[in-house]
Amino acid sequence: MIARKYLYLIALAREKHFGRAAASCHVSPSTLSAAIRDLESELGVAIVERGQQFAGLTPEGERVLRYAEAAASQAADLKQELAQMRDGGLSGQVRIGVIPTALTAVAAFSAAMARRHPLITLEVFSMSTGEILNHLRHYELEAGVIYLRSANEPDLDIVQVWEEDHVLLSGAAHAFEGRSAISWREAAELNLCLLTPDMQNRRTIDETFAAIGCHPKPTLETNSIVSLLAHVCSGGWSSIVPRSVLELIGTPEDMVVLPMTDPAVAWATGVVTLRRDPVSPAVEAMRVVANELTSAFGNDE
């Protein structure tokens, strides 16, 4: 359905090494190299930058790669649609990239997909927002779960599922005795453990602090929500985390949880997919489930 040499090009762009690309395609490096040269001859352009080792694709090669990725994805979509007609249900792999702070909340979405489509195999990956969008555009994910403020580009479709507010989590329960909330300004003075600055969650937290003239300096940073929770539970740090993380897994013992106020902020979170026509069966199924979950999360306006 798509010439094998285009699949070789996709593998080469992914692996960035002729030997590894050939191994992933179960052919010899010479076979893969010959196929790339044949593709260049057929199209009349140089696709690969020449050198002793793989040095990247030419601008023309990048354009050919985009075509190859789209064609391969459409071929996979057609196979999935035909299998759905034959088997009476959606099957195959469905890949979802999720920002770390949504990894617990996304379980409701994954469970709903599995119940509605028991023949599918779900793959859930923890990724940054940038990685999710990049993988979507290279057809390496069917959907992403991100803060929707990062999904305002015309090639993306979004379904808002819930709004995420944040809470302070701290092991210093004695210091907050009798408190029902804490301001962002007060939180800025605490010994904070936060996600790393490359994470969208951290950027939104930093923006909220900056808006009130605060610039806290966390003494521990991590790109793992599990690591973040573990460090807070050690008693040495406080953190600011999405409420949904604690609602699903529970509040760790002896921890205090306080709503964040002044300002009260909430960030829209949901499912993002690449805008395509026709829509693949997997993407259409995820949009349906995401819309059904919207009211369950209280976003049915």
pLDDT at 301: 44
CATH at residue 173: 3.40.190.290
Report yes or no on 75 lying in a domain.
Answer: no
Q: Is residue 83 part of a domain?
A: no
Band the pLDDT of 297: cuts 50, 70, 90: low
Does one domain contain both 201 and 224? yes
Cα 263–chain centre separation: 27
Q: Domain for residue 26, yes or no? A: yes
The answer to whether residues 217 and 244 touch, using CB atoms and an 8 Å cutoff, is: no
The first and second tokens of residue 277, run together, are 């026509």
252 shares its domain with 177: yes
Number of domains in the chain: 3
Please give the helix or strand (H or E) that residue 164 lies within, else none: strand 156-164
Of the ranges 15-19, 102-106, 151-155, 199-203, which one carries the lowest mean pLDDT score? 102-106
Tell whether the model's pLDDT for residue 295 goes beyond 80: no
Amino acid letter, 19: G
Question: Dihedral sign, CA of 149, 73, 16, 52?
Answer: negative
261 and 173 assigned to the same domain: yes
The pTM (predicted TM-score) of the whole model is 0.77
Q: Does 170 share its domain with 158? A: no
Tokens, residue 161 = 């599922």
Q: Is residue 275 domain-shared with residue 158, that is, in the same domain?
A: yes
Q: What are 8-29's pLDDT values in tens digits? A: 999 999 999 999 999 999 999 9
Tell me the CATH number at 31: 1.10.10.10
β-strand partners of 220: 193
154 and 126 part of one domain: yes
What band does 98 get if pLDDT is binned at 50, 70 and 90?
very high
The answer, yes or no, to whether residue 96 has pLDDT greater than 90, is: yes
Residues 194 and 141 in one domain: no
Residue 38 has pLDDT above 90, yes or no: yes
Shared domain check, 282 and 247: no
Residue 131 backbone zone (phi > 0: left; psi -120 to 50: alpha; other: beta): alpha
Structural domain contains residue 79: no
Please indicate, yes or no, whether residues 26 and 111 belong to a single structural domain of this protein: no
Please indicate, yes or no, whether residues 58 and 99 belong to a single structural domain of this protein: no
Residue 80 lies in a domain: no
* Residue 237: domain span: 166-265
Residue 154 forms part of a structural domain: yes
Peptide bond between residue 263 and the one before it cis (omega within 30 degrees of 0): yes
Of 245 and 129, the one with more pLDDT = 129
* Letter string b/e over residues 172-211, b meaning 16 or more CB atoms within 10 A of that residue's CB: beeebeeeeebebebbbebebbbbeeebbbbbbbbebbee
In a domain, 216, yes or no: yes
CATH number at residue 153: 3.40.190.10
Please tell me whether residues 278 and 156 are part of one structural domain: yes
Kindly state whether residue 9 falls inside one of the protein's structural domains: yes
Q: What pLDDT is recorded for position 52? A: 66
